[in-house]
Structures are given as C-alpha cells and as structure tokens.
Amino acid sequence: MPFVTIRMYPGRDDELKTKMAEAAAEGISSALGIAKETVTVSVEEISPEEYAPIMDSLDRDSLYLKEGKRVR
C-alpha cells in the first residue's frame, strides 16, 4: 500500500515512465517484503523552474534521499 510520487523534468515518453515506475515498484516491494501489486507509483512532470521551490518546500523529516545521497 505504499504510494510513491516521482517528480521529474518533462521529456520522457510513457513507455520509459512505465519502465521506471515498474522498477520503483519492484525495488520498494523487495525492500519492504511486500507484493509488488500493493505499490502505487505516480509520475509528475515539473519544469526546471519549479524544481528548487519544490525541493525547498519538502518536509525534511520525511526526506531520506536528496539527489541520490542519503540525508538520514
């Protein structure tokens, strides 16, 4: 029942986004020891101009990785 939202720059086609979502679901299900079918992944496209304000608005207590680096 995890629900993950991936925000990324525009420009990738639906096939690539689907592959990414499936890989994310597989990784999440494997890490948590749950069925892949219980994982939901959404993809939101954001412009480069939106990136910094969104990153600044994130709840730091819920952030585990930032730009590929562990923050906890």
Model confidence pLDDT, tens digit, residues 40-65: 999 999 999 999 999 999 999 999 99
What CATH number does domain 3-70 carry, 3.30.429.10, 3.40.50.2300, 3.30.230.10, 3.40.50.300? 3.30.429.10
Q: What are the boundaries of each domain within the chain?
A: 3-70
Q: Answer whether 47's CB lies under 8 Å from 10's CB.
A: yes
Average the pLDDT over 15-19 and give the result. Answer: 98
**Type of residue at 19:** K
Model confidence pLDDT, tens digit, residues 29-43: 999 999 999 999 999
Give the Cα separation of 56 and 26 in Å (integer): 29
Residue 72 has pLDDT above 90, yes or no: no
The owner of tokens 């939101």 is 44
In which region does residue 69 sit, left (phi positive, over 0), alpha (psi from -120 to 50) or beta (all else)? Answer: beta
